[in-house]
Each structure stands twice: as structure tokens, then as C-alpha cells.
Chains A and B, each alone.
Chain A
């Protein structure tokens, strides 16, 4: 790990542009691998929850299944419906995947390990995740299909509504941490109490709302009305095939990982160890580090799959009701509570 950080700093001192390019590759390539194996994990985990085995034919225990899927999708013909708007039809998947990857630019994986350490990091992430909705709307429109159109409309309304609850939850974090910089937010959660110092405890309602809104934002079950199978078949990507479909798929899973990672970062202390620093002094792996970030992200990723395997789908108007009439009022009230706690320097977290 130290050698890695050393290489990182050495690059920055000598080749700035090359360093940025290498950093981008160093973030995107493992991310794509994570996305591929997240789909494998999804099929395996949901398989076991549904008393079946899941993929187990390609490679040992099905380990090569994601690779086989990717190869299959790459070689498939890209069918463009004859009445579709060709340019928009092909731009839409890129508009979904692009922001999902771009958001990682400000993401600190570890102390000092971030591509762009900007001060408005949280704002940038909020902006990037919002841009993703254009891909969905444009796909729904460009396909010139009724089902895709309905899916696109539903998705647009849903994402815009949950963006607000999500934004308010982030305002709570920002008030508590006193900074928009993601690294600063993690450092604000440092303390002698270990995991009790993290923001999930004082911001518990915001934590829950942020994660649930994240599920809604990524169009995942139980909020997957945009692609509800028994209702509108596949929603906005019903007419997509081959690589454009794969790009949508990658975007969706990259977004899921992003939401999981952000939840871990903002509420669960990011790369911080859950044990108090004085206990783990010098013990390998128990101290702060990127592996904690990864473990926490994996935990929230598992929640995504768990929700999908357990819940039926909400009806569209019920989702809207939950977002506007339940989540937004709760977040507003809790921002006030957090504000008061910060002003009066509530011990443990804000003193």
C-alpha cells in the first residue's frame, strides 16, 4: 500500500498529464471489473435467496460468466428501430454511463488518494448523478416506442423527485461536516469512538433516506418502475440490444456502486477503521485504509441485491408519495436538528 502511494506522489511530481490519465485508467479499469463481478454477485446471491444456484457453467463456479456476457453483448448486432432517432438513440447510453464514471473523479478512496481534490466535491457528485437522468429520458424518447416512452417519463419524474430528498440528506452531511470536500467529510468523522463517531448515528434518518433515495435514483427494485418487467416490459431500454444495452447496464451498476460507496463515505466513515485508533495501533489490516472503504461499499451493494430479492415493486404513485410526502419533510426537520446540534456543539460528534 505504501509503495502504491509513493508511486502516486512520484507521478504527480514528474508527469502531470500522464499522471492524470494513468489515474483515470487506474480508477475506471478496476471499477469496470467491479461492475462485471457485481453482476455475477447479484446473480449468485439472488440465486441462493431463491433456492437455486445461479451461474455455474462458465469457468470454475461460473467465475467467467461476466466475461462471457460481455463478449456476447459485444458481438451482438446493434438493432436500431427503423422509426427511431438514430443519433439520440446511440447518444443516450453514453449519457448514462458517462456521468456514472465521471462522478468518481472526486471520490477519495483513501487519505490523499483522489483524482481531483476539489472543494465542491459533494456538489459535483450531486450534479453528475442528476445528469444521468438525461440518458434515460432521451432513450425513452428516441426509441419511438410506447413502452420505452412511458418508462422514460416515469424515470424522469422519479429521479427528479428523489434528487430533492437526496439533496436534503446531503445538506445534513454538509452541515455536520462543515465542508463540501469529500475527504474533509470523512476526516470530520474521525474520533476516539470508532464507528460511533461516524455520521450514521447522529444523522440516522438522513442515512436511511439517502440510501433509499439512492436505490430509487438508480431505478433499482423496489423502485424499478422505469423498467418494471410485468408492467412496461423493460421500460426505457426495451428497444436496445448488443453494446448500447450493455452500456446502459454498465451505467446502472456503476451507479449502484457509486451510491453504495457514497453512503459508506458520507455516513460510515469512508476509509476509517470501525475500531478506535488506540486499539488497532500497528495491527495490520485493522487500521484505516482502502480495504475498509471496499468492505463498506460491498455491504451496501449487498443491501441493493437483498432489497431486489425481497420486495415487490411499488406502484408509481406510491413512490412519488413516499418521496414527496415522507422523505422530504423528514429530511427538512432533521437538517434543523443537526443545525441545532452543531450550533450547541453536541458532544461526541460536533464538539
Chain B
């Protein structure tokens, strides 16, 4: 039933593992996808060698969006780094703020008030909802179904309204600071949030019907881009991509942080490990996040401080030391490695983003023997954000 092309003309592997591709033979065509290609989720590029309609070899190229943030931070005081870290990942900036703030707090020995921890968890889950909504639109768009992207963009806008109300900003919030969060929840926030969540759930139900139950999309997505569960550790795959392969990896549960130990949830798992399963895991994870937001708003202590008093941040010196903070962002495990040499500046900040491990090495493996049409869908299914690959 499934289409099997004639692969007898494909290049043969040489003894050292590389492929015998002679472009002058006329059998192969070199096709550059990106960095301005509409199927690529940002500024990166794929160098594809195609034989007929199929990719026989692919290389990923990054370097179009390198802004040198990690180096930039070494010349800035700890508090000056906040406007930078949130720009590392556009659709989900709060993770960077949280990880960086938690790292600074750990080195400086600052206690975070309990209510601030609840609000931080709330913000992280709201950011996750945003990020997944953007992903669903992108995944459908990569298959040529534009309508889902418009619907989820509308849903995301509703969540951005709540962000605006809470933090004063829609995209880059800069709300989480060392010692807590900038402000308490506004009056009546829970009620308006509940309304937003209901609307998003309604839209998601429609998305499920139109996207996930669509015969054409199922035919294209099921069985596409299978990742062998045995490869997950070798390629450092985490997050929904790993969970779609049946491995219940979730930092929120395995290494709890903030108030996650007090929330009741189980990681969402699927077995098929193809594009459809990955999209479905993310959709159900989105519903889980909505449930977590409800749990947080119900279980949050009524009042309390949201900020620990900091010393004068302009002359703030943090004791010598190093730390690694991890968290579960919408794409996988996110980590910050921070070294302080006792001065007012971080000695080294290293960001471990899941996009790097997913989209550079794993993608090169996945796009081999795949139709050109499926390359964009595969790239989106790994939930890649090139700004996060390069910092």
C-alpha cells in the first residue's frame, strides 16, 4: 500500500560511511532550503541532495542568527542580563528568565517567597501554552493547512492578553527576577484566566477535529519521521519528542522544581514516534498545561510577599561558584550553566537548548529517504527554534 520508490539509483555508501555523490553525474540535484524558505521555521538552512523527488543526504547549516548573547552576558552585571536572556527564545522567553534567575539565586543564596514560586510556575505554564499553540499552527502549515495556524494564532493572542495584563508585555515579559517576580497577580486575574482557558479549549477541540482527524493529514503524518526509541539517548532527545516515542521523560516530574511536586500530573506519552504522535503528544500536553494552570490558580496561597529584597543590584557581587539549572520547556529539557568568579559579572553562561540537539544532528538523520515535501514537516515536528540553537 505505502509508496516505495525505486532506490536502486541512490548513492552507495563508501567504506568510511560517507555517500558516493557525484553531482556531475546528473543523477542528483543540490537543493538549498533556507534561510529564507517559507517551510523553514526561522533562519537556518538545509543543504539537501535529492535524487528524483527524494532526499538522499541532508546537512543542516546554522549561523544566520548568531547574536553572541552568551559572550555579551560576560560583560554585563547580573541584573543587566535579564533583557538579554529572554530574547534567546522568542516564543517561550520565560524559561530563560526562570533558569537564569534560579541559577543566580542558587549562587547568591537567595530564598524565593512561596507565592512567587507559584506565580513563576503559572507563568511557565502559560508560556508553554503559547509555545504549543504556535507549534500546532506551524505543523499544520508545514503540511499546507493554513487554517490551523490562524486559529491557534487567535488562541495564542488570548493568552498574550493575559500576559499583558500580568506583566505589562506580550512577548518579552522580563517578569521573573532574582528573588521572586516583579508583581503580584492583578485583581480578578483567575476569573479572566478561566475564561481564556475555556476559549482555548474550545479552539483546541476544533483543531483536533480539523487537523488530527483529517484523512489527508493522517495519511501524510502517520509513519513519517520515525525515531527509534533506542536512539533517543544517543542524540540527547528530550521533551515531547522523547515522550512521543514512549519514553516518559519529563523534568517536571523527574527532577521537580518550583511547585511542581505539589501539582498532580502524569507525563503525556505516545508510542508511535512519528510526526502525528509528536503533534498529538504536544496537543495533549497543552491540555495538561491548561489543567496545571487551573490547579495552580486553585492551590496558590491567598497572599504573601512576591519578592525578596535584593542588595543594590548595581554593585551586586555574587560569590564564586558554578551551577546548572534545568527545567522542562515546551521543546524539551532546557538548562543554564552559570559560573561566577566572585565579581559583579557572570564568568560564563552556557545555555543548553533542546533545539540544538534536535534540529542539527537528529534532523540530518531523519530527512534521508524522505520526499522533499516532508522535510519542512519533519523539521517542525522536532519543534525547532533556530534563535535558540545559536543564541
- Which residues of A line the B interface, CB within 8 A? 46, 49-52, 146-147, 150, 154, 221-222, 224-225, 228-233, 309-318, 321
Contact A228 B3 (CB under 8 A): no
- Considering the chains assembled together, what is the distance between the CA atoms of A313 and B145 in angstroms? 7
Contact B38 A312 (CB under 8 A): no
- Considering the chains assembled together, what is the distance between the CA atoms of A310 and B219 in angstroms? 15
Known: A230-B377, A309-B147, A310-B147. 14 other contacts (CB 8 A): A146-B31, A150-B53, A222-B216, A225-B373, A231-B375, A310-B145, A312-B220, A313-B143, A313-B145, A314-B220, A315-B219, A315-B371, A318-B3, A321-B3
Interchain CB contact (< 8 A) of A231 among B39, B211, B219: B39
**A228 and B147 in contact, given A312-B217, A318-B220 (Cβ under 8 angstroms):** no
A159 to chain B, nearest CB (A): 16
Contact B3 A312 (CB under 8 A): no
**A310 and B210 in contact, given A50-B147, A230-B142, A230-B144 (Cβ under 8 angstroms):** yes
Contact A50 B151 (CB under 8 A): yes
Interface membership of B376, Cβ < 8 A: yes
- Considering the chains assembled together, what is the distance between the CA atoms of A317 and B376 in angstroms? 17
Interchain CB contact (< 8 A) of A50 among B150, B216, B376, B377: B150
Interchain CB contact (< 8 A) of A316 among B140, B210, B214, B373: B373
Closest to B211 in A: A312
Interface membership of B225, Cβ < 8 A: no
A156 to chain B, nearest CB (A): 13
Interchain CB contact (< 8 A) of A314 among B31, B39, B216: B216
**B residues less than 8 Å from A49 (CB atoms):** 147
**B residues less than 8 Å from A317 (CB atoms):** 3, 5, 53, 371
Interface membership of B85, Cβ < 8 A: no
Contact B373 A52 (CB under 8 A): no
**A residues less than 8 Å from B371 (CB atoms):** 315-317
Contact B144 A313 (CB under 8 A): yes
Interface membership of B185, Cβ < 8 A: no
Interface membership of B374, Cβ < 8 A: yes
**B residues less than 8 Å from A51 (CB atoms):** 150-151, 154
**A residues less than 8 Å from B140 (CB atoms):** 312
Closest to B375 in A: A231
Contact B214 A146 (CB under 8 A): no
Contact B144 A221 (CB under 8 A): yes
- Considering the chains assembled together, what is the distance between the CA atoms of A46 and B147 in angstroms? 8
Interface membership of B297, Cβ < 8 A: no
* 7 residue pairs, one from A and one from B, having the closest CB atoms: A313-B144, A50-B150, A230-B39, A312-B145, A312-B143, A317-B3, A230-B376
Contact B373 A228 (CB under 8 A): yes
Name, among A224, A225, A315, the residue most crowded by chain B CB atoms within 10 Å (CB to CB). Answer: A315
Interface membership of B93, Cβ < 8 A: no
Contact B146 A311 (CB under 8 A): no
- Considering the chains assembled together, what is the distance between the CA atoms of A310 and B206 in angstroms? 12
**A residues less than 8 Å from B210 (CB atoms):** 310
Interface membership of B141, Cβ < 8 A: yes
Closest to A50 in B: B150
Contact B150 A232 (CB under 8 A): no
B363 to chain A, nearest CB (A): 15
- Which residues of B line the A interface, CB within 8 A? 3, 5, 29, 31, 37-39, 53, 140-147, 150-151, 154, 210-211, 214, 216-217, 219-220, 371-377
**B residues less than 8 Å from A313 (CB atoms):** 143-145, 216, 373
Interchain CB contact (< 8 A) of B53 among A233, A316, A318: A316
Interchain CB contact (< 8 A) of A233 among B38, B147, B150: B38
- Considering the chains assembled together, what is the distance between the CA atoms of A318 and B224 in angstroms? 14
B298 to chain A, nearest CB (A): 30
Contact B220 A311 (CB under 8 A): no
Closest to B139 in A: A312
Closest to A311 in B: B216
**A residues less than 8 Å from B147 (CB atoms):** 46, 49-50, 309-310
Contact A228 B144 (CB under 8 A): yes
Contact A150 B216 (CB under 8 A): no
A165 to chain B, nearest CB (A): 18
Contact B376 A231 (CB under 8 A): yes
- Chain A to chain B contacts (Cβ below 8 Å), 28 pairs: A50-B146, A52-B150, A147-B31, A150-B31, A222-B144, A225-B373, A228-B144, A228-B373, A230-B39, A230-B144, A231-B39, A231-B376, A233-B37, A309-B146, A310-B147, A311-B145, A311-B214, A312-B140, A312-B143, A312-B144, A312-B214, A313-B143, A313-B145, A314-B219, A315-B220, A315-B371, A316-B371, A317-B371
- Considering the chains assembled together, what is the distance between the CA atoms of A229 and B149 in angstroms? 14
Contact B374 A315 (CB under 8 A): yes
- Considering the chains assembled together, what is the distance between the CA atoms of A140 and B44 in angstroms? 26
Closest to A52 in B: B150
Closest to A321 in B: B3
**B residues less than 8 Å from A224 (CB atoms):** 144
Closest to B376 in A: A230
**B residues less than 8 Å from A316 (CB atoms):** 53, 371, 373
**A229 and B150 in contact, given A312-B216, A321-B3 (Cβ under 8 angstroms):** no
A238 to chain B, nearest CB (A): 11
Name, among A50, A230, A317, the residue most crowded by chain B CB atoms within 10 Å (CB to CB). Answer: A230
- Considering the chains assembled together, what is the distance between the CA atoms of A230 and B142 in angstroms? 6
**B residues less than 8 Å from A230 (CB atoms):** 38-39, 141-144, 376-377
**A residues less than 8 Å from B214 (CB atoms):** 311-312
Closest to A150 in B: B372
**A residues less than 8 Å from B144 (CB atoms):** 221-222, 224, 228-230, 311-313
B214 to chain A, nearest CB (A): 6
**B residues less than 8 Å from A225 (CB atoms):** 373
Closest to B146 in A: A50
